Structures are given as C-alpha cells and as structure tokens.
Amino acid sequence: MNPMNRMILKTLTATALLAPLASFAAALEGQAEKQPLNLTAILMFVAFVALTLGITYWASRRTQSRADFYTAGGGITGFQNGLAIAGDYMSAASFLGISALVFGSGFDGLIYSIGFLVGWPVIMFLIAERLRNLGKFTFADVASYRLDQTSIRILAAAGTLTTVAFYLIAQMVGAGQLIKLLFGLDYNIAVVLVGVLMIVYVTFGGMLATTWVQIIKAMLLLGGASFMAFMVMRHVGFSVEALFEQAIAVHKDGQAIMAPGKLVKDPVSAISLGLALMFGTAGLPHILMRFFTVKNAAEARKSVFYATGFIGYFYILTFIIGFGAIVLVGTDTFYLDDKGLRGGTNMAAIHLAHAVGGDVFLGFISAVAFATILAVVAGLTLSGATAVSHDLYAHVLRKGKVNDKDEIRVSKFATIGLGILAIVLGVVFEKQNVAFMVGLAFAIAASANFPILLLSIVWRGLTTRGALLGGGLGLVSAVTLTVLGPAVWVKVLGHATPIFPYDAPALFSMTLAFLGCWFGSVTDRSARAKIESARYIEQLVRAETGYGATGASNH
C-alpha cells in the first residue's frame, strides 16, 4: 500500500471513529460535494416515483375511513407488515453509515448494527401483541386506555412529535446531502422533492400507500444489498477467510479491524447507548403504529419475526459490503481523491456498487437510496400526523366526539403541515451538524414513550399522575442531557468541555422516567387513581386475550 492511500485510510478511519456513538446519521454529516448529474440514477428514480405514485392513486381509492387512513384498515398480513417494518426501519443512513463504519474500522460497524437489531426481540416479548390487542391507531390509545385521556394523550403526542421531529430533521438533511451527492441535484431542490413526494404519498394514500412504498423499498434495498454482497463473495471465491485476509492486507489498521476499536469509549456510554437502541426501538411511534395495520395479535407477532429476520440479514449484508469496500474500493484510485473517498466517507457502499455492477447498478443503488429516504420519512410523517389528528384533535380537543371525515381532514392538513415544516427544517439545518438527532430520537423514545407504554400495560399501580411525572421527566431529561453532552454542547455549540460527559443519556433519563412513574403512582391517593387501578382487570383480559380488540375493518 502506498503512503498516499495509507494516509487516506487514516483520515477515513479517524472520521469514522469521531462519529458520535449514538448517531448513525454520523456518516451523513458535513457538506457533501455536488456530483455531476447522474442520468441513469435519475431515470431509475423516476421509474420508482412513477410506480409509487400509481400505488398511491390505487390506495387513495381504497382509503375512506379513519381506519383505512391510519392503519390500511388492518388488512396487512404479517409477512407484508414485516417487510414494511424493515422498510420503515432500514434507513439510507444505516445502509451507507454502517457500511462506511465497517469500511473505516471493520468490527466496530458490527457493534453498531447489533444495537439496532436487539430492540426487536424486546418488542416481541413485551409489547407487540398487547399493543395490538389494546390499541387502535396510536400507542397513546394504549397508554391512555385506563388513564386520563386528555393529559396522557397530550404527553404521548409530545413524545411522538419530538421523536418524529428529530428523526425527520436527520433524515431530511441526510436526504439533501445524499441526493446532491448521488444525483447532482441542488440541496434545496432535493429537500423540497423529498418533502413534496412524502406529502403526496401520505395525504392521498394514507397508510396503505405508505406501507407499499415501504415494502417496495425494502425489497429493492434487500435485493440490491444481496447482489453486492454476492459479488463481493464471488470476488473472494466465496471464502469468508479470504475476504478478511484480503481486507486485513490492504487496510491500514491491519488485523485490528477484526476486533473492537475505539467506538466503545467507556462502559457507561456503551450501556447507555445499548439501552437507548434496545428500548428506543420499542418506543418509536412510527414503528409502534405499524402493529395496528395487521388483523390480530398472531399477525403482529409474525410481523416482528419477519422484520427481525430481514433487518438482521440486512446488517449481515452491510458487514460484507463494508469489508468488500475495503478490498475493492479502498485500493482503487478511481474511487479516491486527495481527501479520501470521492464524495465523502459515506460513499463506500455507493462506490462498491459501481465496482461490482458498473454504471447501471450504481444508478440502481442511488435510486434505492433515495427511495429508502422517502419510505422512512413517509412513515414518520404519518405517525406524527396521526398524533395530531387522533390524539390531540379528536380526543383532547373534541373529547372523542368527532366523525371520520373531520378527523381525516385534520390528519391530511397535519401531514401537509409536517411536510412543510420538514422541508423548512431541512433547509435551515443544511449546514448544521445533525448527527446527534437520531440518537436523541431514540433516547426520547426510550425515556418518554417506552416507560409509560410498558408500565401502563404491565403494572396495575400506574396512575395518570405517575405516568405524567415519569414520562415528563424522561422527555425533559433526555433532551437536556443531550444538549449538555458532547454531541451538542461541544460539537454544535462550540464550548470547550461538555457539562454532561456522555453522548447517550438513556441510562440516566430512563432511570428517571421509571422512578418518576413509580413515585408519582405510589404517592397518588386520589379517587381517580383507585378507579384507574380497578380498571386494570378489564385491560388485562383484553391485553392478554384480545377479547374486545379492534379487528380488521370491513369494507
């Protein structure tokens, strides 16, 4: 390896390691260079858009009631929902970011992807079927089942909207940078394009269109990544040993890429991040909402199994892709310039697509990356809009006395509003470092949404006061500790040392949330608390058996 390449790899590795632990948008941070207009990619993307708009038109004719709009009428099968969940969860940032992390430091990329997977079994064992049995459209339906409708729904909507907002900003900024990079389009045009398409999918096609956009995207992404991994394995004669040997031979860190590097700094950060990823997944509103699209608990369980399988398989592929990129991209000067990878760190998988499949496959993968962003933002927006229309408008403002037509109308306006907000925030945050936002979204989901959801299901003693205290504490502490931590206090606000030393606040904010729920509940001697506890029996029977649960709507 020549000194030039050695230096490039060193810079790359350093960049990858500096990426904040809790943020897989890390690879998308910084300014992407605008590339020349990529016609193949644009043509393939236009084909994808045409197909999904066709589906949206088809879905719009089938979307009449609230149940249609929010949950596709509950008629999605477990397998379809599993694919859609995978499509909702596997973002472009995780595809490009994790493969870039593997490219830069090998084994560390694996640690990262594992964190994003292990939340799924937890969802399966603790949440999925009971959520399906108790809820209708949002997780607030479940949290407020026997608690005070008004205040709990406001809290749940606040948790939903902050989670969605931070996740959405990270996705929009990532989308703008990525599209500038892949398609050679202007950043602002890219952000507006993503925003407008997402508004169209959700407003006209509701959950049915969103689901199919996610399913198609999941198949394209899994298909494309499988092909890349296959070509990498073919290159090394289908020998895992050979792949690792060749990667070690050309990587500047040598054998060190086969073991944990500097990604995990200290045990507290590691455990805190692990908690955020594991339990945050079980508190992401757009993921939880997907469980209402299937007809019963049995299908909800199947959804989680298929989703876990697809997502786990995908992460194994990104590992092979990252190592393949070390061998095929990191040694080829065609993909490198004086700063490292042409186009930036997160281009490892994109360049590998070109290395194994030429211009046409490069165009395909670029189009898939764009489709991936669209599917994720559509799911996020729908869940945010549902929190506004179903929780805030229908239940808090109108006390449940509202017809389908009005509620859907509010939902569509909320979608348009959120879409415009996402575009504006995407433009505003263009030059900001948004890498911490995905980590923050997971931390809020783990500290505000997950504790009140779990405790309302499993603990008879939870009262409205306890949930408000715990959920409120979780939300406020997750945001505050993130702002005072290194990712924002130092990297965004420019202070010399952080007030709170860890990137991931979940260990502390989750503890506060659970303590708050417990303390607020056991000290609650009100008459309302007694009623809430007495209502647990009916909730328990329904949660465990699905007796009285909402079935699929009939057309």
Partner 1 sequence: MTTKQHSGDGSTASTEVHVAPEILRILESPAFTELRARRGRYSAILTTLMLLIYYGFILAIAFAPQWLAIRIDGVITLGIPLGLGVILSAIVLTGIYVRRANGEFDALTVKAVRSAQG
Residue from the set 18, 46, 259, 397 that interacts with partner 1 by CB under 8 A = 259
Q: How far apart are CA 461 and CA 202, in angstroms?
A: 38
3-state secondary structure of 337: strand
For tokens 């990858």, what's the residue?
Answer: 16
Q: Judge whether 116 and 274 are in contact, CB under 8 Å.
A: no
Residue from the set 81, 99, 105, 308 that interacts with partner 1 by CB under 8 A = 308
Q: Which residues pair with 455 in a beta bridge?
A: none
Taking the least distance from each CB to partner 1, the nearer of 265 and 431 is 265
DSSP 432: S
Taking the least distance from each CB to partner 1, the nearer of 309 and 358 is 309
Q: Does position 274 bind partner 1 by CB under 8 A?
A: yes
Q: Which range binds partner 1 by CB under 8 A, 1-9, 57-65, 257-265, 500-508? A: 257-265
Element (H, E) at 272: helix 267-281
Compute how many residues bind partner 1; rule: CB under 8 A. 69
- Side chain identity, residue 429: F
Closest approach, Cβ 321 to partner 1, in A, equals 15
Q: Does position 316 bind partner 1 by CB under 8 A?
A: yes
Closest approach, Cβ 540 to partner 1, in A, equals 8
Q: Does position 542 bind partner 1 by CB under 8 A?
A: yes
Interface mask toward partner 1 for 103-132; x: CB under 8 A: ----x--xx-xx--xx-xxx-xxx--x---
Q: Which range binds partner 1 by CB under 8 A, 208-216, 284-292, 382-390, 537-545? A: 537-545
Q: Does position 315 bind partner 1 by CB under 8 A?
A: yes
Q: Judge whether 23 and 436 are in contact, CB under 8 Å.
A: yes
Q: What is the CA radius of gyration of the chain?
A: 23
3-state secondary structure of 463: coil
Interface mask toward partner 1 for 480-519; x: CB under 8 A: ----------------------------------------
Closest approach, Cβ 352 to partner 1, in A, equals 20
Q: Which residues pair with 341 in a beta bridge?
A: 336
Taking the least distance from each CB to partner 1, the nearer of 29 and 532 is 532
Q: Does position 548 bind partner 1 by CB under 8 A?
A: yes
What count of Cα atoms within 13 Å lies in the side-chain half-sphere of residue 382?
38
Taking the least distance from each CB to partner 1, the nearer of 100 and 173 is 100
Q: Does position 51 bind partner 1 by CB under 8 A?
A: no
Q: How far is CA 36 from CA 40, 42, 189, 363, in A?
A: 12, 12, 15, 13
First to last CA, the chain: 65
Taking the least distance from each CB to partner 1, the nearer of 91 and 308 is 308
DSSP 123: I
Q: How many helices (H) and strands (E) does the chain have?
A: 23, 2
Q: Does position 527 bind partner 1 by CB under 8 A?
A: yes
Can you spell out the DSSP letters for 319-336?
A: HHHHHHHHHHTTT-GGGE
3-state secondary structure of 294: strand
Q: Which two tokens stand for residue 143?
A: 């949290």
Interface mask toward partner 1 for 401-430; x: CB under 8 A: ------------------------------
What count of Cα atoms within 13 Å lies in the side-chain half-sphere of residue 1?
22
3-state secondary structure of 459: coil
Q: 383, 202, 208, 412: which is closest to 285 by C-alpha?
A: 383
Q: Which range binds partner 1 by CB under 8 A, 185-193, 350-358, 407-415, 523-531? A: 523-531
List binders of partner 1 among 234-253 (CB under 8 A).
240-241, 244-245, 248
Q: Does position 537 bind partner 1 by CB under 8 A?
A: yes
For the chain, percent helix, then strand, then coil, each to nearest 5?
Answer: 80, 0, 20
Pairing of strands 336-337, 340-341: antiparallel
What are the residues binding partner 1 (CB under 8 A)? 107, 110-111, 113-114, 117-118, 120-122, 124-126, 129, 144-150, 240-241, 244-245, 248, 255, 258-260, 264, 266-267, 270-271, 274, 278, 297-298, 301-302, 304-305, 308-309, 312, 315-316, 319, 400, 464, 527-528, 530-532, 534-535, 537-538, 540-542, 544-548, 550
